Amino acid sequence: MHHLLSKYEDEEKLNRILLKFYSRVTSNVSIKHFFMDLSFEKMLRDVSRFNQFILDRPEKTYTDKPNQTTDPSLQIGSASFIEICHQLVEVLKEENIEEKDIPRLVTDTMEIIEESKSEASDRISSVYQVDNLNADQLIHIFSLARIKAELNDDNILTIRVNDTKIPIYLKLHKEQQLLLFYGKVVSKKSDCSALDNLVSIANEIYPFFPVFSRKENESFYLYAEHQFSIQDGLPSRLMNRIAKQFAKCFENAVLCDKEKILEF
């Protein structure tokens, strides 16, 4: 999300946007309950530290009617939620955000704010600190979303998401405070020309989810990755959404292989 705002060359823009938005919602008697248990300070902090946990999605996602992503027990009426999103749209317009960027900024910002609301209501924090993270902890986090994960001999988690056939992988770089999701499927071809053609096709169909050709040990792979920092903590619900979205998107890219050059 921040890479959209960065082009406006104003480091304080996000703070102004969120302050205006929070003030307008809390001063509107019909929707102020949305922020009843969430302070502005927490909202600002969470949007700043967790915006990297939102993956790009198809354009249709940003033009459809906004949907709530928080736990159903915390959701508000649909009409109220639409009005809240409208208030954010109006603030973005006032801050001279380009029209083409507004739908995506609204969708991404609201998803993080909803996660912040959920985390504020948790009896036990759902944000894990890096010092407490290990493979067993990650496997447990995935299990909460019914995602199967197991540790292989290379100390990498193999992740299998329901309704997908292609596994993805996760590597914890604890010293660097990073997590790396990646997907890789080997090509049957001994050169990269057919794979490069597949990469071009997949990236044209799914431009929001870039894939690459990669060579390892004399073999060529279709490859995709998403790396994010856990220096400020790991929001477990957002990570599980990333796993599901990443697995589905990577499988869609693999299924662009009409020539059957991949082994899976």
pTM of the model: 0.91
Residue with tokens 């989810």: 209
* pLDDT in the model for residue 11: 72
Q: Which of 55-64, 216-225, 252-261 has the lowest mean pLDDT?
A: 55-64
What's the average model confidence in pLDDT over 91-120?
A: 93
Domain stops at, among 121, 142, 162: 121
Is the CB of residue 235 less than 8 Å from the CB of residue 53?
yes
Domain-embedded: residue 249: yes
* pLDDT in the model for residue 1: 60
If you average pLDDT over every residue of the chain, what do you get?
92
* pLDDT in the model for residue 4: 72
Is residue 143 domain-shared with residue 73, that is, in the same domain?
A: no
CATH number at residue 167: 3.30.1460
* pLDDT in the model for residue 10: 74
Domain-embedded: residue 83: yes
pLDDT category, 67, cuts 50, 70, 90?
Answer: confident
What's the average model confidence in pLDDT over 202-220?
A: 95
Is residue 48 domain-shared with residue 134, that is, in the same domain?
A: no
Is residue 20 domain-shared with residue 109, that is, in the same domain?
A: yes
Is residue 25 domain-shared with residue 134, that is, in the same domain?
A: no
Domain-embedded: residue 184: yes
Is residue 248 domain-shared with residue 180, that is, in the same domain?
A: yes
What's the average model confidence in pLDDT over 61-77?
A: 84
What's the average model confidence in pLDDT over 131-159?
A: 94
CATH number at residue 18: 1.10.490.10
* pLDDT in the model for residue 2: 59
Number of domains in the chain: 2
Expressed as residue numbers, the domain containing 192 is 127-254
Is residue 101 domain-shared with residue 181, that is, in the same domain?
A: no
| pLDDT-above-70 percentage for the chain | 99
Is residue 138 domain-shared with residue 39, that is, in the same domain?
A: no
Domain-embedded: residue 259: no
**pLDDT tens for each residue of 17-38:** 999 999 999 999 999 999 998 9
* pLDDT in the model for residue 99: 93
Is residue 178 domain-shared with residue 78, that is, in the same domain?
A: no
**Using CA atoms, how far apart are residues 244 and 110, in angstroms rounded to an integer?**
19
* pLDDT in the model for residue 24: 96
* pLDDT in the model for residue 263: 94
Domain stops at, among 102, 121, 140: 121
> 88 pLDDT exceeds 80?
yes
> 6 pLDDT exceeds 80?
no
Is residue 144 domain-shared with residue 200, that is, in the same domain?
A: yes
What's the average model confidence in pLDDT over 160-187?
A: 96
Domain-embedded: residue 113: yes
* pLDDT in the model for residue 234: 95
Domain-embedded: residue 206: yes
* pLDDT in the model for residue 25: 97
* pLDDT in the model for residue 129: 93
pLDDT category, 255, cuts 50, 70, 90?
Answer: very high
Structural tokens at position 41:
């300070």
Domain-embedded: residue 264: no
Is residue 105 domain-shared with residue 132, that is, in the same domain?
A: no
> 128 pLDDT exceeds 90?
yes
Domain stops at, among 121, 141, 160: 121
Map the chain to HEC letters.
CHHHHHHHCCCCHHHHHHHHHHHHHHCCCCCHHHHCCCCHHHHHHHHHHHHHHCCCCCHHHHHCCCCCCCCHHHCCCHHHHHHHHHHHHHHHHHCCCCHHHHHHHHHHHHHHHHHHHHHHHCCCCCEECHHHCCHHHHHHHHHHCCCEEEECCCCCEEEECCCCCCCEEEEEECCCCEEEEEEEEEECCCCCHHHHHHHHHHHHHCCCCCCEEEEECCEEEEEEEEEEECCCCEEHHHHHHHHHHHHHHHHHHHCCCCCCCECC
Is residue 101 domain-shared with residue 185, that is, in the same domain?
A: no
Domain-embedded: residue 263: no
Is residue 135 domain-shared with residue 247, that is, in the same domain?
A: yes
